[in-house]
Structure 1
Amino acid sequence: MFGGGGGGLDSRKMQQMMKQMGIDIDELDAEEVIIKTSEETLVFDNPDVQRMDAQGQETYNVVGSPRTEEGDVSTTEDDESDDGIPQEDIETVADRAGVSEAEAEEALEATGGMPLDAIERLSE
């Protein structure tokens, strides 16, 4: 198939071929990767992660054994405001900006749910 006889390509030849095709692979020193779906959250602790850049399109390869967290996936009304802003964000903004939770929630709504932007907005 590829290369001469002897059972395939060695790592160096494979890297040469990928480079010629415009594909670049980097190893990332990832500590944790989290994948959230509507049904579960998969957490990979200390995974092997490679980033492949092929003609401007980045693809990530994650290798490891995930643990599943089901409790963090669905949120209840107590965990989010009516606009989908996490209660934790509201409390953080209120505490950091020294304002009421209602003011913090309003600032978060105005900034698209971005806590840092909301704090800056309230500090002006």
Structure 2
Amino acid sequence: MFGGGGGLDPRKMEQMMDQMGIDMDELDAEEVIIRTADRELVFESPDVTKMDARGQETYQVIGSPNERERGAGGDEAGGASAGGFDEEDVELVATRTGAGEDAAREALEATDGDLAAAVARLE
């Protein structure tokens, strides 16, 4: 976390963080999506750390994102398919689970568009 090789003892670092009221947890994230006005950064299987410093939560995402344009492959409402889901989301669920696009779309509909839940439903 604080690299450099100077070598602070991990126990000592943990004690210092406890004294300052800082708590860190690793999250078991499957995917993180950062949306801007014109594109999305999709991190698959990222390392995510949540740090709580006296009530202020900060998240650190480590990984290499795939970049995609928002609205690519669909209508002007953000690329939504007839079912109301982004075609890229349907493709992602289908690719991730090996299911067909119809099954992926049904899983997304059943989970109100929750990608992780749709993948879990099909696995």
Fraction of identical pairs, as percent: 57
- Structure 1 residues 60 and 75 mapped into 2: Cα distance closer, same or farther (>3 Å)? farther
3-state secondary structure, aligned to 2:50? strand
Residue 46 of structure 1 aligns with which residue? 45
**How high is the TM-score relative to the length of structure 2?**
0.55
User: Partner amino acid for 1:76?
Assistant: E
1:28, CA displacement in angstroms? 0.2
How far, CA to CA, are the matches of 1:70 and 1:78 in structure 2? Answer: 10
Q: Tell which structure's C-alpha radius of gyration is larger.
A: 1
Matched, 1:36 2:35: yes
CA distance in 1, matches of 2:32, 2:21: 27
CA contact (8 A) 2:33 2:41 kept: yes
Q: Spell out, residue by residue over 1:12-53, the C-alpha distance to the aligned partner (whole angstroms, 9 max, x if none).
A: 211111111000000000000000001210000000000000
Structure 2 CA distance, aligned partners of 1:34 and 1:42? 6
Could you tell me which residue of structure 1 aligns to residue 22 of structure 2?
23
For residue 84 of structure 2, what is the aligned residue in structure 1? 88
Please give the alpha-carbon distance, in whole angstroms, between the structure 2 residues aligned to 1:68 and 1:12.
Answer: 38
Figure out how many residues of one structure are paired with residues of the other and give that number. Answer: 80
Which stretch has the larger CA shift, 10-19 or 65-74? 65-74
Q: Runs in 1 of length 4+ with deviation above 4 angstroms? A: 77-80
Question: For residues 27 and 56 of structure 2, what CA distance do their matches in structure 1 show?
Answer: 17
Gaps of 5+ in 2: 86-111, 113-123
Task: State the partner residue of 1:103.
Answer: none
1:69 is matched with 68
The answer to whether the Cα contact below 8 Å between 1:78 and 1:87 also exists between their aligned partners in 2 is no
Q: Kindly report the root-mean-square deviation, in angstroms, between the aligned alpha carbons of the 2 structures.
A: 3.0
